[in-house]
Amino acid sequence: MSVTVASFKSYFDRGQFDYGVNVPQVRDKDIEGAMAEAGNVFNLQLYPPAQPQIADEALTYLTAHYLSVNLDAFGDGGQTRMLQESRGADGLSESLVIPEWMNAGEFSFYSTTYYGQHFLILSKPYLDGAVFTAHGRTRP
């Protein structure tokens, strides 16, 4: 895989993250830590070997997810964030819908950020198993 701090910064170069050394800016060390966390749960074997760019993009988004979670934890003093399903004020309301498969089980952690959701969308085709039937029968 070819995901590095430099490639991460190049991929997210439109202001998604503010890079620098002063709080709340993102340091290279913060990205490296998020890359290490992402590497602990990332399974390269899920992605087609003929298309390594898919795995690189998925790992980049997973790194961004962990970086975002870490920055939120720092900014919120370690408070957890729950998924928002609706809110309203002055006659306006908003509901956020996250697909059920993203909210279920082990995927729910990744659905808490845009980056985690993007990682899941990139990975979903490789997470679903294929079921095939074969013609035949068993012996009595």
Question: Using 50, 70 and 90 to split pLDDT, how confident is the model at 74?
Answer: confident
Which of 9-23, 72-86, 113-127 has the largest mean confidence? Answer: 9-23
CA dist., res. 115 & res. 124, Å (int): 14
Cβ neighbours, 10 Å, residue 108 = 13
- Domain extents in the chain: 5-85+94-127
Residue 77 pLDDT: 58
- pLDDT, the chain, mean: 83
Asked which of 53-57, 78-82, 134-138 is least confident by mean pLDDT, the reply is 78-82
Tokens of 93: 């309301």
Let me know: does 19 contact 8? Beta carbons within 8 Å. no
Res. 67: pLDDT tops 90: yes
Task: Give residue 79's pLDDT.
Answer: 47
Find the DSSP H helices in the chain.
5-11, 28-41, 52-75, 100-103, 114-127
N- to C-terminal Cα separation, the chain: 51
Residue 73 has pLDDT above 90, yes or no: no
Residue 80 has pLDDT above 50, yes or no: no
Condensed to tens digits (0 to 9), the pLDDT of residues 95-106 reads: 767 777 777 788
